[in-house]
Amino acid sequence: MPLDPSQIRDKLGIGDDKVYAAIGEFSDPHDLVHAGRKIREMGYTKLDAMTPFPVHGIDDAIGIPYSKLGWIVIPIGLCGTATALLLIWYCGAISDKFVIGGKPFFDFTFSIPITFELTVLFSAFASVIGMFALNGLPRLYHPSMNYQAAHRASDDRFLLVIEADDPKFHPQTAVEHLKSVGASTVEVVEG
């Protein structure tokens, strides 16, 4: 039996009724960190925070893991180091064997500036490209922008987000939990 269009939309998670998250608003960063800890202790695992400036301790409070960017940047930077040394060695000792001022064909001490520069160049590209890839950027739309006061997260408010992907998430229960930890305003946001 074929599915009707509303059943197809429900199975794909498409439509106006798709819930993204419950978002609670706080006026103080310390309240946000305290609330993040309490919500995490309640068993929620898919949490996020939106703040106008970095809030110390929020990553640990809501369980954000350490960045994987270093695991991308260090190997690519070492590739830059190897590329520079290999290129200098090849050009000086293999391709063009010119004796200039009595210098050897290849000497590590003379290659340090170029090696450093290529290491920094490769690391910089790896940092930017890795950051974009890990953050899923560029993103022109995010469901959190449907929150009625989303603009305040870049001004003077601190938002705690319980995402609907969380196994424990139920809209009404999440709203009650956010209110119980001190959220001044709570809203269920649709994606």
State the pLDDT at residue 99: 82
Q: Is 22 helix (H, G, I), strand (E, B) or coil?
A: strand
The reported pTM is 0.76
State the pLDDT at residue 2: 54
* CATH node for 20-58+144-190: 3.30.70
Per-residue pLDDT of the chain (191 residues; tens, 9 = 90+): 555 545 544 554 545 568 999 999 999 999 999 999 999 999 999 999 999 999 999 999 999 999 999 999 999 999 999 999 999 999 988 988 888 888 888 888 889 999 999 999 999 999 999 999 999 999 989 999 999 999 889 999 999 999 999 999 999 999 999 999 999 999 999 98
Q: Is 103 helix (H, G, I), strand (E, B) or coil?
A: coil
Orientation of helix 171-180 relative to helix 29-41, angle to 10° = 130
